[in-house]
Amino acid sequence: MATLAKGSKKLTNAWAFYDWANSVYPLVISSSIFPLYYGFLFPKENPNILFLGYEFKSTALISFVTAFAFLCVAFLSPILSGIADFAGNKKRFMQFFCYLGAISCIGMYWFTADNIYFGIICFFFGLIGFWGSLVFYNSYLPDIAYKEQQDSLSAKGYSMGYVGSVILLLVNLYMIIGKEGEEALHAMRMAFAMTGIWWILFAQYAFWYLPKGNKNADKITKDVVLNGFRELKKVQSQLYQNLRLYRYLVAFFVYSMAVQTVMLVATYFGEQEINWSTDSEKTTGLIISILVIQLVAVVGATLTSKASEKFGNIPTLIVINAIWAIICVFAYFVTEPIHFYVTAGFVGLVMGGIQALSRSTYSKFLPKTDDTASFFSFYDVAEKIGIVIGMAIYGTIDQITGSMRNAIVFLMVFFVAGLLLLLRVPKNETSEAE
């Protein structure tokens, strides 16, 4: 088919539609149904799991597995994105990770207490598939949209993802509510399989229209792995020459550590720490809370985009970090369902905003280059290493103290540090980093 022009409506819509396809994974698997299912398999009355010869608190184990998965993605993505830019086939890499993640979701249908190793492996590869595909998805943004389009398009992608994922979650909610015991657990496993199928099917629209990538045959050599490292070294040197980009990436690394950790553990926190009267109330309450977060996040992403137009990207991010820090302190005192619902509303408001604006801010700060995947791999590595550290710290505090409250309030430190680092980002592009 003919190549669509950069900035064209059909091309930008196709890019944003991948958010519709893959956002069901973080909502259904990471945020709602799987934490519920996991909590029913390993309740807080008997939370310990024997895994690889060691006894873990169930929530700490899932934090450590998540951290290890992100560590693998952090090491793989720079190499793969560099290769993709050299070979001009970033779409093939994006498809590979998409299918890896989706098939792993389907495999989680067979996750049971008696099949813990298989289930953990599927959970592990689902994470790698989702986040691995995002490396290449994010790197398309400056390729398919002009700078003035990127803030609104980034927000549009997140908004489409929230809406699409909520539709599937409502279907899953209809399947689960009113069921008890094994029947409810089976409905949750069906939700895992439906997530994988949804992801694969709707991704095809994006794959049909997205270009293969920027191909430069002169750069291709036999040793593509070394090519990837050479590309990263070049990007590193350019980062050090751009003070604004360098300082922004450092700030992003710090606050993203806390943002992603909160998003990954929020439902586990609600399942373990809130005083639900019955299991049915817990199931309904947690899913409603996640729906509130997703729907409010659509509004948050839009409001943040408008705020950035009026006040600038960095000042807007500073305010959002301050709100996140307050939320972490408040969460320590949350015990009742109504408190959890209120907290969920505020989380949704700033969650969509900080994700969309962080991505588009980095995209706008990039120097002019064809090797966008390599630059976005730095962004991706900062995010993933931050998650590794955040989840490892969170899991360790949870394992040692036996309380997720102590772990969540500690994340406030990272939001405050991120805020202070954002204050040091120059308003205008400068040539040399310190």
Q: For the residues of 38-80, what is the DSSP string, one character each?
A: HHHHS-TTS-EEEETTEEEEHHHHHHHHHHHHHHHHHHHHHHH
Question: Per-residue pLDDT tens for 16-75?
Answer: 889 899 989 988 888 788 888 888 888 766 667 777 777 788 878 888 898 999 898 888
Where do we find the tokens 């817990």?
A: 282
Side-chain-side CA neighbours of 206 within 13 Å: the count stands at: 30
**CA 83 and chain centroid, separation:** 23
**Mean pLDDT confidence for 68-95:** 77
Q: Looking at the predicted structure, is the pLDDT value of residue 102 above 90?
A: yes
**Whole-number pLDDT of residue 380:** 73
- The predicted pLDDT at position 278 comes to 79
Of 83 and 406, more confident:
406
The four Cα atoms 162, 414, 101, 44 give a dihedral, to 10 degrees, of -90
Single out the residue of 141, 133, 147 nearest to residue 77, CA to CA: 133
Each residue's pLDDT tens digit, 222-247? 566 666 667 667 777 777 777 888 88
Reported confidence tier of residue 398, pLDDT bands at 50, 70, 90: confident
Determine phi and psi for 51, rounding to 5 degrees: -140, 125
Q: What is the pLDDT of residues 183-193, one digit of tens each?
A: 888 999 999 99
Question: What pLDDT band is residue 220 in, cutting at 50, 70 and 90?
Answer: very low
- Return the higher-pLDDT residue of 272 and 216: 272
Structure tokens at 69: 């998965």
Phi, psi of 48 (to 5 degrees): -85, 140
Q: What pLDDT score was predicted for residue 165? A: 86
Cα 362 to the chain's mean position, in Å?
16
Q: What is the pLDDT of residue 105?
A: 95
Report pLDDT for 201. 94
**Residues 6+ positions from 292 with CB-CB distance below 8 Å:** 341, 344, 345, 348
Residues counted in the chain? 434
Q: Provide the 3-class DSSP secondary structure of residue 318.
A: helix
The Cα–Cα gap between 102 and 97 comes to: 8
Residue 370: pLDDT band by 50, 70, 90 thresholds? low
Tokens coding 390: 């955040």
Type of residue found at 231: E
How far apart CA 384 and CA 388 sit, in angstroms, is 6
d(CA 118, CA 342): 36
Q: Provide DSSP, 283-315.
A: HHHHHHHHHHHHHHHHHHHHHHHHHHHHH-HHH
Highest-confidence segment of 9-23, 49-63, 130-144, 147-161: 9-23
Q: Which residue type, as a one-letter code, is found at position 290?
A: I
Angle at CA of residue 137, ends 132 and 143, nearest 5°: 140
Q: How far apart are CA 384 and CA 257, in angstroms?
A: 8
pLDDT at residue 191, as a whole number: 94
Q: Where are the domains of the chain?
A: 9-210+223-422
pLDDT digits over 308-336, tens only?
Answer: 888 888 899 999 999 999 998 888 888 88
Residues linked to residue 57 through DSSP beta bridges, in sequence order:
48
| 50 CB neighbour count, 10 Å cutoff | 9
Q: What is the pLDDT confidence band of residue 217, given thresholds at 50, 70 and 90? A: very low
Answer with the residue of higher pLDDT: 144 or 23: 23
pLDDT of 89 above 80: no
Average confidence score pLDDT of the chain:
81
* pLDDT beyond 70 at 171: yes
CATH of region 9-210+223-422? 1.20.1250.20
